């Protein structure tokens, strides 16, 4: 076991042992690590603890600041995060939960792209990053990089088609044409639940399978 990560992830009392700064830097590191040669995709689930919402936002901030896309499953179980990470080709999965620990505790459990426990080499890198640097200087550096980055509209649509629309269609058991997928993407891009980074790329998709299925039904009418 490392300094922060044990057999079940990084656990401790929320805002004392496990803080938003920790969560931000974990997201920051994962976005950088998996985004070296492509745009990283990370799926996040959480339990019903009040602090889970806080850590979810901090993890998303770190991930998207590093250029990664964060997909939220919201309240769910660890096995579901493991399954989605493996089945939908995510680089890794994150579960925010402290299992049976008291309500004031929380935890961050990391899963690799196979839905299994994160490799020790990655955890070692995260721990080294947690012990180095200053969060404020990291945020300033990321803000400067974000202002200098650019993404085209075709890339936005292509990412949504392949990471949201196609998979949602398959799971809903509906056969759709590319024209219908394009129409769905236009609807998704205009939805208030799609959060975009400063240069316009949708980086955090806050849509459930039920909501996507409803969109498909509206598209096909």
Model confidence pLDDT, tens digit, residues 160-173: 444 444 344 333 33
Per-residue model confidence (pLDDT) at position 155: 45
Burial degree of 175 (CB within 10 A; 0-12, 13-18, 19+): exposed
**Helix/strand/coil for 198:** coil
The verdict on whether 99 is a catalytic residue reads yes
Mean pLDDT computed over 180-185: 54
Per-residue model confidence (pLDDT) at position 86: 95
Alpha helices in the chain (DSSP H): 20-34, 50-65, 78-87, 120-130, 135-148, 153-160, 166-172, 178-189, 209-220
d(Cα 209, Cα 39) in Å, to the nearest integer?
23
Mean pLDDT computed over 105-130: 93
Please check the confidence at residue 71 and state whether its pLDDT lies above 70: yes
**Active-site choice (51, 66, 99, 140):** 99
Grade residue 66 by pLDDT with cuts at 50, 70 and 90: very high
């Amino acid at each position: 076991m490392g300094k922060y990560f044990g057999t079940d992830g990084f656990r401790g009392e929320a805002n004392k042992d496990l803080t938003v700064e920790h969560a931000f830097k974990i997201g920051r590191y994962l976005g950088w690590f998996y985004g070296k040669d492509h745009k990283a995709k990370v799926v996040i689930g959480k339990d019903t603890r009040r602090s889970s919402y806080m850590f979810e936002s901090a993890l998303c901030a770190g991930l998207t600041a590093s250029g990664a896309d964060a997909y939220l499953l919201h309240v769910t179980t660890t096995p579901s995060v493991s399954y989605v990470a493996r089945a939908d080709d995510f680089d890794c999965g994150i579960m925010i939960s402290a299992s049976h620990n008291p309500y004031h505790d929380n935890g961050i459990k990391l899963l690799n792209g196979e839905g299994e426990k994160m490799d020790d080499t990655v955890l070692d890198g995260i721990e080294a990053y947690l012990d180095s640097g200053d969060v404020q200087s990291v945020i300033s550096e990321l803000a400067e990089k974000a202002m200098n980055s650019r993404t085209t509209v075709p890339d936005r649509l292509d990412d949504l088609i392949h990471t949201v629309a196609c998979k949602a269609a398959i799971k809903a058991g509906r056969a759709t044409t590319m024209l219908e997928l394009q129409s769905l993407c236009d609807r998704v891009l205009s939805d208030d639940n799609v959060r975009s980074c400063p240069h316009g790329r949708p980086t955090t998709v806050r849509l459930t399978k039920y909501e996507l299925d409803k969109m498909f039904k509206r598209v096909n009418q």
